[in-house]
Every structure is written in C-alpha cells, then in structure tokens.
C-alpha cells in the first residue's frame, strides 16, 4: 500500500492522507490501484471505496458523518460532500 495514505481501522471506508496530492495521481491501495482525481491536503480523507449518498463515513472504526452525495474511490472526503451526524447530548448539573 502507498505510504502516502493511512488506514486507521480495518472497517474504515476512508484513508487519511499523509502527504498532499496534487490530483490525477494513481496510488496503490489495499483494494488495488485508485485514482486521486483532485488535490487533497495532508490530514484530509479520501474514499477507500465507493460510498453511497447517505452512507456513513467511517474513520477510527466509528461513523464520523454521512456522505451528502455518492463518492468514488479516491475522492476527497470533507465538508463539501459529507455532513456530521453528531448530536449533542449535554448533561446538566453534572449528572449523567
């Protein structure tokens, strides 16, 4: 697997980028060769495989949000194509 991407957990459907991509680059991934179609900065995510519209985005083995449209393998995954599914649950008075 290309050392410019990192899989944090086996169930993740995204890789974390360890070195910036300028775009139109083919890289070796665990699933085979994937195309990084556009620029992606260090620390951002790229799709490990196709992700359907509304499907959870999994990082660290847990859902961190949902895709707002269908994504292809290698595509930059960020705020422009995913949303947070975080629901605040505050405890008042220090009681849980």
What does the domain layout of the chain look like in residue ranges?
5-83
pLDDT recorded at residue 92: 67
Asked if 54 and 32 count as a contact pair (C-beta separation under 8 A), the reply is: no
pLDDT recorded at residue 90: 66
50: exposed, middle or buried (Cβ count in 10 Å: 0-12, 13-18, 19+): middle
CATH of the domain spanning 5-83? 2.30.130.110
pLDDT in tens, the chain (96 residues): 999 999 999 999 999 999 999 999 999 999 899 999 999 999 999 999 999 999 999 999 999 999 999 999 999 999 999 999 887 776 666 665
Asked if 65 and 57 count as a contact pair (C-beta separation under 8 A), the reply is: yes
């Amino acid at each position: 697997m290309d050392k410019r991407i990192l899989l944090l957990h086996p169930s993740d459907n995204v890789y974390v980028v360890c070195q910036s991509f300028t775009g139109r680059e083919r890289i070796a991934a665990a699933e085979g060769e994937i195309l990084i179609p556009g620029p992606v900065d260090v620390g951002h995510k790229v799709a490990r495989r196709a992700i359907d519209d509304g499907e959870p985005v999994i990082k660290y083995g847990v859902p961190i949000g949902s895709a707002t449209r269908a994504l292809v393998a290698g595509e930059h995954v960020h705020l422009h194509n995913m949303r947070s599914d975080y629901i605040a649950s505050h405890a008042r008075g220090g009681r849980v």
